Structure 1
């Protein structure tokens, strides 16, 4: 057993983990320390540590490496393994392991007869399960096991509050108190939350659709976000949820974060240009120059707006809310939010921090901008950089975005009216409330620029031009609404 475990550990360190989609250190070897190891029938379960981070890796023995799973399966000599969540026997076997607890939220599924990947591009394992009655489920399993699983806490609270716009939650899988997986209902949709908006906007840009066709859907999104905030912040005894007063230290941390993002982006773009990592160095220099010239002034102006938050409330928010985190269900003309992991570029401490509820509206404003950029690229048949030029100088989507964002924000404010969420805002001029969204749009743009510069540098122009978006300034002036 000891020799076999040693061979498995070496194979993981030298070959498998550096290539794994979920490994935080891409193409880099790390020494791992095995915390626990169990075998039960064809299931092999490992929990291990690397650089003070804990991971779980359940494996199922297989006759051969399953080619469809790509980097999620491997062999050591003649012994082959696949990541276990893609095997129909996993759910039954994992429940029998020591120190594993299955927390049932609603009735558990029947006998699972098939399992397959929904995507292999996620940092987590997301599989589609079907039981013997034909019912379908999504199993989301976490490779990295944080001390506080934000998504599990959010999903559980929303499920218990009967929030309707998440998938039905059936059970949580826990290993020694850490949530390792969630089983949810499979949602049948036609695409992510951006699907109806993108379809309409492309037709509008071609002149074959009327302007206001999707404002009702945007208003629906505002109501959903308001109901989510109420479910997360009203009626909880656990202090992880609920409202707290914003202090000077909160504001200072938000301002420092903006400055950090700005500095990292400028440094990273310098590195990309120097190394000629981008196919379009000339464009990269242009966007870097635009940010360098104006970025600090924009950050300082947004910082002044943050000061208005002192004494107001912060609460539990989604944090990374955008249209791609949702599924659009055309039969009910509704949206289901499927991801609550928070912003991937944040530290563990930042992920679990409370923030003003307005920030979720800001990330949605940015989502409309990203979607509009993609529509301009499609309709005009142009590159990311050239589409950014179009939107920066003569944005053909501006009125469309203005109408949809206005509908979303107004619907949100109406949905929380007279609730506990507005207790600090009732004497505030409505235009002043709108201006509170402004600094968070700037902060989100800077986060997006940080993220894109690190992982998708060819996209970095999109958040940079977002800092000059006329819609952003309408929030700042708060007179256009």
Structure 2
């Protein structure tokens, strides 16, 4: 512990009020009943002061550890008003927005320092440029990312879990086999939690000219929605391939990139065949999720019989278990988790689904789960402009056609990469029963999320469930 117990006491008293207002805090569904300091380290002593603090956040029966960068300075720093945790009697603020203090983190990684239980390191063979100042990425949610001089990006994992973070593990594995579809890992900050090792942060190559897939896809949808009918036939609707900004070519290239990453992960970390027991466990998990969500969301209840039938069909794949494999996968793949650079597509954020347990995120899974996640994301992008609107039938038809075209293109790209030498994965469309079940399971998860967080969006996954179970989506 730090020798500043009075600061920790003041911090713990203020955090139950302050934490729920932070975008990265995952416990907004219930009040914070207590905050207990677990450990703290003086990263920079003096004025200004920088503390690394790990706290245990108690929410009734849920107890989870979070990390904070806490600053204190006699001269108020240039940080947002929302950063201030306490102002009286001592001013304490969340320091990720303080460029003077966050510069210290990069310096210590360059020098390979150890401060208390915190170890700052750069990757073997990496030389980092000193003297760079950082700015936080304001759109980050479950974690906090700092960009250093448009060269590096440091992700601070807010909610901590013991063991090496999956994001760092998979990035290192992909680097070691020469994957061209990741931003290179450059450094890390590690510490201890309950006597076990824990990953605090990961430094990576930053690509300032990269554009995320969601922005590109929704721009394509916007172009399609704004396109007028042809003068020759005012009643005819434009098709996605007839409008500037058609995304299908990029979707196909993205599919190939995902297939190559899956192959690289299997090569680096191995894979194993699925047995009948794993199929049964998969079906049980799907049905358990379905029952839990239907109990909270009445709008899902009419779809339960069809969903249950789709999930039960997975048990019938026992004769095909030899061609179904499990391996390390991304685990939360969607258009917001991919970047388009001048050199091609990159995958980012390999932590896995935020709502899943640590063990679930680290478990081997079918690569089809990532494919299903991306197919769901194309559906979301297609309908994003229609949410909250009284959309006419023509716009709904355009959205569905865009989604179908890009879903097909993604699968074509994935299959072509497999046929071109990416062995062991197979064409996802040849495992249609399992892919369909994974996509429906993802849609059930989306129903739960939208019901709790964005009720206006609830119609998107519900409409998809209706189409898929009726046989309308055959990709």
Name the TM tier (shorter chain): 0.7 to 0.9
Partner residue of 1:195 out of 202, 208, 215: 215
1:360 and 1:206, CA in 2 relative to 1: closer, same or farther beyond 3 A? same
Q: Does the alignment pair 1:402 with 2:404?
A: yes
Correspondence 1:88 to 2:121: no
Unaligned ranges ≥5, structure 1: 271-287, 378-382
1:159 to 157, 161, 175: 175
Q: Is the 8 A contact 2:287 2:311 kept in 1?
A: no
TM alignment of 1:106-255, pairs within 5 A: 106-119=125-138, 121-130=140-149, 135-148=150-163, 149-176=165-192, 177-189=197-209, 191-207=211-227, 211-212=240-241, 213-234=246-267, 236=268, 241-255=269-283
TM-score by length of 1: 0.80
The aligned counterpart of 2:54 is 47
CA distance in 2, matches of 1:337, 1:445: 22
Aligned to 2:231: none
| Residue 456 (1) aligns with residue 454 (2) | yes
In structure 1, what is the Cα distance between the partners aligned to 2:403 and 2:64?
Answer: 41
Q: Which whole-Å CA distance do the structure 1 matches of 2:367 and 2:80 have between them?
A: 40
The CA distance in 2 between the partners of 1:120 and 1:200, in whole Å, is 22
Question: 1:242 and 1:65 mapped to 2: Cα distance?
Answer: 52
Question: Shift of residue 376 of structure 1?
Answer: 4.0
Residues 50-449 of structure 1 mapped to structure 2, 5 A cutoff: 50-51=57-58, 52-63=63-74, 68-86=79-97, 87-92=102-107, 95-105=113-123, 106-119=125-138, 121-130=140-149, 135-148=150-163, 149-176=165-192, 177-189=197-209, 191-207=211-227, 211-212=240-241, 213-234=246-267, 236=268, 241-270=269-298, 288=299, 291-305=300-314, 307-308=316-317, 310-311=321-322, 312-329=324-341, 331-332=342-343, 334-376=344-386, 383=388, 386-387=390-391, 390=393, 395-417=397-419, 421-422=423-424, 432-449=430-447
Cα deviation for residue 343 of structure 1 reads: 1.2
Answer with 106-115 or 174-183: which moved more.
Answer: 106-115
**Which piece of structure 1 moves more, 70-79 or 466-475?**
466-475
TM-score by length of 2: 0.81
* Inter-partner Cα distance in structure 2 for 1:398 and 1:415: 26
The alpha carbon displacement at 1:297 in A equals 2.0
Does the aligned pair in 2 maintain the 1:117–1:128 contact within 8 Å? yes
Q: Distance in 1 between matches of 2:376 and 2:339?
A: 18
Task: Pick closer, same or farther for the CA change 1:470–1:143 going to 2, 3 Å.
Answer: closer
Residues of 1 paired with 2:222 and 2:309: CA distance? 36
Query: Which digits, 9 at most, give the CA deviation of each residue in 1:16-67, with x for residues without a partner?
Result: 3343333333372343343322223222122233455333223232346657
Cα displacement (A) at 1:164: 1.9
Distance 1:204 1:23, change over 3 A: closer
Q: CA deviation at 1:166?
A: 1.9
For residues 140 and 247 of structure 2, the distance between their equivalents in structure 1, rounded to whole angstroms, comes to 30
User: How many Å apart are 1:453 and its aligned residue?
Assistant: 1.7
Mapped to 2, the partners of 1:401 and 1:471 lie a distance apart of 17
Answer whether contact 1:13 1:30 (CA < 8 A) is retained.
no
State the alpha-carbon separation in 2 of the partners of residues 420 and 228 from structure 1. 9
Does the CA-based 8 Å contact 1:125-1:140 persist in structure 2? yes
- SS of 1:128 mapped into structure 2: strand
Question: In 1, Cα distance between the equivalents of 2:127 and 2:259?
Answer: 30
Q: Quick one: which of 7, 10, 16 aligns to 2:9?
A: 7
Residue 211 of structure 2 contacts residue 339 of structure 2 at CA under 8 Å; is this kept in 1?
yes
The farther-off stretch of 173-182 and 101-110 is: 101-110
Contact 1:299/1:442 (8 A) holds in 2? no
- Give the equivalent residue in structure 2 for 1:465: 463
Q: 1:421 to 1:451 in 2, by over 3 A?
A: farther
CA separation of 1:468 and 1:33: change in aligned 2, threshold 3 A:
same
Q: Secondary structure at the match of 1:43?
A: strand
Label 1:110 to 1:399 Cα distance change in 2 as closer, same or farther (>3 A).
same
Aligned residue pairs: how many? 435
1:97 is displaced (CA, Å) by: 0.8
Distance 1:317 1:45, change over 3 A: same
